[in-house]
Amino acid sequence: MKNQILALIVLQFFIFSDLATGQEMAQKSPDNETTVLFQDETPLSVVLRYSDKEMRRDTDDSTYLKTQLAYQNSSGQWDSLEIRLRARGNWRRKNCFLTPVKMRIQKSEMKGTEFEGNKELKLVLPCRNSDQGHDYVLKEYMAYKLFEVISPYHFKTRRLQIAY
Protein backbone atom coordinates (compact mmCIF):
# COMPACT_ATOMS: atom_id res chain seq x y z
CA MET A 1 0.00 0.00 0.00
CA LYS A 2 2.83 2.42 0.88
CA ASN A 3 4.54 1.67 -2.43
CA GLN A 4 1.36 2.55 -4.29
CA ILE A 5 1.18 5.86 -2.47
CA LEU A 6 4.82 6.61 -3.21
CA ALA A 7 4.28 5.69 -6.86
CA LEU A 8 1.71 8.48 -7.03
CA ILE A 9 4.23 11.15 -6.06
CA VAL A 10 3.24 13.57 -8.80
CA LEU A 11 -0.47 13.78 -9.56
CA GLN A 12 -2.71 16.32 -11.25
CA PHE A 13 -5.06 18.18 -8.94
CA PHE A 14 -6.66 21.57 -8.91
CA ILE A 15 -7.57 24.25 -6.47
CA PHE A 16 -10.32 26.78 -6.48
CA SER A 17 -10.98 30.01 -4.67
CA ASP A 18 -14.15 31.29 -3.08
CA LEU A 19 -17.12 32.04 -5.32
CA ALA A 20 -16.77 35.39 -7.09
CA THR A 21 -19.70 37.66 -6.35
CA GLY A 22 -21.15 40.28 -8.64
CA GLN A 23 -19.97 43.04 -6.31
CA GLU A 24 -16.40 41.75 -6.31
CA MET A 25 -16.44 41.48 -10.10
CA ALA A 26 -17.75 45.03 -10.46
CA GLN A 27 -14.85 46.33 -8.37
CA LYS A 28 -12.26 44.58 -10.54
CA SER A 29 -11.20 45.82 -13.93
CA PRO A 30 -11.87 43.50 -16.91
CA ASP A 31 -8.12 43.01 -17.39
CA ASN A 32 -7.60 41.92 -13.78
CA GLU A 33 -10.63 39.81 -12.83
CA THR A 34 -8.58 37.21 -10.99
CA THR A 35 -5.66 37.08 -8.61
CA VAL A 36 -2.19 36.23 -9.91
CA LEU A 37 -2.56 32.59 -8.84
CA PHE A 38 -5.48 32.04 -11.22
CA GLN A 39 -4.25 34.15 -14.18
CA ASP A 40 -1.85 31.42 -15.30
CA GLU A 41 -3.30 28.22 -16.79
CA THR A 42 -0.19 26.07 -16.43
CA PRO A 43 -0.24 23.55 -13.56
CA LEU A 44 1.48 24.91 -10.45
CA SER A 45 4.10 22.56 -8.97
CA VAL A 46 3.80 22.20 -5.19
CA VAL A 47 5.09 19.92 -2.45
CA LEU A 48 2.93 19.19 0.62
CA ARG A 49 3.96 17.25 3.70
CA TYR A 50 1.15 16.03 5.90
CA SER A 51 -0.41 12.81 7.12
CA ASP A 52 -3.82 12.07 5.59
CA LYS A 53 -4.54 9.78 8.53
CA GLU A 54 -3.73 12.57 11.01
CA MET A 55 -5.83 15.03 8.98
CA ARG A 56 -8.90 12.77 9.09
CA ARG A 57 -8.47 12.13 12.81
CA ASP A 58 -7.34 15.51 14.17
CA THR A 59 -9.10 18.22 12.16
CA ASP A 60 -12.61 19.60 12.06
CA ASP A 61 -14.22 22.87 10.96
CA SER A 62 -12.05 24.91 13.32
CA THR A 63 -8.95 22.75 13.86
CA TYR A 64 -6.08 22.96 11.38
CA LEU A 65 -2.69 21.26 10.98
CA LYS A 66 0.34 23.50 10.43
CA THR A 67 2.68 22.57 7.60
CA GLN A 68 4.83 24.01 4.83
CA LEU A 69 3.78 24.42 1.21
CA ALA A 70 6.73 24.47 -1.18
CA TYR A 71 5.90 25.77 -4.65
CA GLN A 72 7.64 26.69 -7.86
CA ASN A 73 7.13 30.42 -8.44
CA SER A 74 6.70 32.14 -11.81
CA SER A 75 10.48 32.51 -12.23
CA GLY A 76 10.98 28.76 -11.75
CA GLN A 77 12.55 29.04 -8.29
CA TRP A 78 11.22 27.07 -5.32
CA ASP A 79 9.72 29.05 -2.46
CA SER A 80 7.69 28.07 0.61
CA LEU A 81 4.87 29.31 2.81
CA GLU A 82 3.64 28.26 6.22
CA ILE A 83 0.04 27.12 5.79
CA ARG A 84 -2.69 25.43 7.77
CA LEU A 85 -4.70 22.48 6.43
CA ARG A 86 -7.89 20.74 7.47
CA ALA A 87 -10.06 17.99 6.08
CA ARG A 88 -13.26 19.17 4.40
CA GLY A 89 -16.35 17.61 2.92
CA ASN A 90 -18.52 14.91 4.40
CA TRP A 91 -19.09 12.22 1.79
CA ARG A 92 -15.60 12.33 0.24
CA ARG A 93 -14.02 12.52 3.68
CA LYS A 94 -15.67 9.22 4.65
CA ASN A 95 -15.49 7.39 1.32
CA CYS A 96 -12.40 8.53 -0.57
CA PHE A 97 -8.79 7.37 -0.53
CA LEU A 98 -7.51 10.95 -0.03
CA THR A 99 -9.32 13.47 2.14
CA PRO A 100 -10.35 16.74 0.43
CA VAL A 101 -8.31 19.61 1.88
CA LYS A 102 -8.97 23.21 2.81
CA MET A 103 -5.87 25.39 3.00
CA ARG A 104 -5.56 28.68 4.91
CA ILE A 105 -2.75 31.15 4.38
CA GLN A 106 -2.06 34.12 6.65
CA LYS A 107 -1.81 37.54 4.97
CA SER A 108 1.75 38.01 6.21
CA GLU A 109 2.80 34.71 4.58
CA MET A 110 1.11 35.34 1.20
CA LYS A 111 2.31 38.92 0.73
CA GLY A 112 4.37 39.24 -2.45
CA THR A 113 3.69 35.67 -3.59
CA GLU A 114 1.47 34.09 -6.24
CA PHE A 115 -0.96 33.29 -3.43
CA GLU A 116 -1.60 36.93 -2.50
CA GLY A 117 -5.32 37.63 -2.22
CA ASN A 118 -6.23 33.97 -1.59
CA LYS A 119 -6.71 33.45 2.14
CA GLU A 120 -8.53 30.13 1.75
CA LEU A 121 -8.16 27.56 -1.01
CA LYS A 122 -9.78 24.19 -1.48
CA LEU A 123 -7.86 21.29 -2.99
CA VAL A 124 -9.84 18.70 -4.92
CA LEU A 125 -8.08 15.35 -4.79
CA PRO A 126 -8.91 12.08 -6.54
CA CYS A 127 -11.41 9.96 -4.65
CA ARG A 128 -9.98 6.68 -5.92
CA ASN A 129 -6.35 5.64 -6.00
CA SER A 130 -6.48 4.78 -9.71
CA ASP A 131 -6.15 6.27 -13.17
CA GLN A 132 -9.94 6.49 -13.35
CA GLY A 133 -9.96 8.55 -10.14
CA HIS A 134 -7.51 11.01 -11.70
CA ASP A 135 -9.68 11.19 -14.82
CA TYR A 136 -12.66 12.20 -12.67
CA VAL A 137 -10.65 15.07 -11.19
CA LEU A 138 -9.77 16.31 -14.67
CA LYS A 139 -13.41 16.01 -15.79
CA GLU A 140 -14.49 18.03 -12.75
CA TYR A 141 -11.83 20.63 -13.57
CA MET A 142 -13.12 20.91 -17.15
CA ALA A 143 -16.68 21.37 -15.86
CA TYR A 144 -15.54 24.26 -13.65
CA LYS A 145 -13.65 25.84 -16.58
CA LEU A 146 -16.73 25.54 -18.79
CA PHE A 147 -18.88 27.16 -16.11
CA GLU A 148 -16.39 30.09 -15.97
CA VAL A 149 -17.25 30.80 -19.60
CA ILE A 150 -21.02 30.75 -19.22
CA SER A 151 -21.57 32.37 -15.80
CA PRO A 152 -20.29 35.49 -14.02
CA TYR A 153 -20.63 33.53 -10.73
CA HIS A 154 -18.06 30.76 -10.65
CA PHE A 155 -15.08 29.27 -8.85
CA LYS A 156 -11.61 30.15 -10.08
CA THR A 157 -9.67 26.96 -10.75
CA ARG A 158 -6.10 25.96 -11.49
CA ARG A 159 -4.47 22.59 -11.82
CA LEU A 160 -1.71 21.59 -9.44
CA GLN A 161 1.06 19.09 -9.75
CA ILE A 162 1.43 17.90 -6.16
CA ALA A 163 4.26 15.87 -4.69
CA TYR A 164 3.50 14.34 -1.27
Band the pLDDT of 121: cuts 50, 70, 90.
very high
pTM of the model: 0.73
Higher pLDDT, 5 or 41: 41
Band the pLDDT of 97: cuts 50, 70, 90.
confident
The separation between CA 74 and the C-alpha centre of its own chain, rounded to angstroms, equals 17
Residues 6+ positions from 49 with CB-CB distance below 8 Å:
67, 68, 164
